[in-house]
Chains A and B, each alone.
Chain A
């Protein structure tokens, strides 16, 4: 079955430290991949997406993600975390040609220590 896995439920980092949030997918073919961020009580904001081409994708707020086909991964990174980055992060995927149905990972709650 198609699935998206985020192994880390919670992550705590110090402000200024680097960040990597893990995401793995299980699809027969390479899906379209997304990272979203959700602040408490809010909707989701798209950070970045990968459809094809360059496997290193730049997004908003200084985030980037790297698609690695061999590892079926699409990990999100940021070189230096800010306190305002504390939020819930969701990795999601759409199977190409799959009618735009997004499958979400379970989310990673990021806490930033000052």
Chain B
């Protein structure tokens, strides 16, 4: 299957700072990427759909000004958590969507806000 990477894999930051998470599709061009968050021992919840060259589409209840998504190229999407607070601590996972409705998952980024 396709390879998707995320960087960093683990980040700890102070409350009030911003954190950028990168998602890269390494071996195919992804016009669409998805960002999910997963709280401990819970399922994945879709946050937003990231479309190359256009604004991201956010799911209901997700603050677009807090979770900034940029999809500047066909292989890179970034999620920036602005003014992070402890309640933003979570596991953030990105996926790249191929042409066959199959999503390829990145390894995830563990964010801990102190």
Contact = CB atoms under 8 A, between A and B. Distances in A.
A101 B49 contact: yes
B32 interface: yes
Given A42-B108, A43-B93, A94-B101, A104 B32 contact: no
Contacts of A45: 105
Interface stretch (B11-19, B38-46, B62-70): B38-46
**B interface: dominant SS:** strand
Contact of A90 (B34, B43, B49, B110): B43
Interface in B41-65: 42-46, 49
A43 B103 contact: no
Interface string B62-80: 0000000000000000000
A99 B50 CA distance: 12
A99 B48 CA distance: 12
Interface in A24-55: 32, 34, 36, 41-46, 49, 51
A100 B1 contact: no
Given A43-B108, A99-B49, A106 B34 contact: no
Nearest to A91: B43
Given A46-B1, A99-B49, A104 B108 contact: no
Contacts of A94: 101
Contacts, number: 53
23 contacts: A32-B101, A34-B102, A36-B105, A41-B108, A42-B108, A43-B6, A43-B106, A43-B107, A43-B108, A44-B44, A44-B93, A44-B105, A46-B1, A51-B100, A51-B101, A99-B49, A100-B97, A102-B34, A102-B95, A104-B44, A104-B45, A106-B42, A107-B42
Given A103-B46, A104-B45, 18 more contacts: A41-B110, A42-B108, A43-B6, A43-B93, A43-B105, A43-B106, A43-B108, A44-B93, A46-B102, A46-B105, A51-B101, A90-B44, A94-B101, A96-B101, A100-B103, A102-B44, A106-B42, A107-B42
Interface of A: 32, 34, 36, 41-46, 49, 51, 90, 94, 96, 99-107
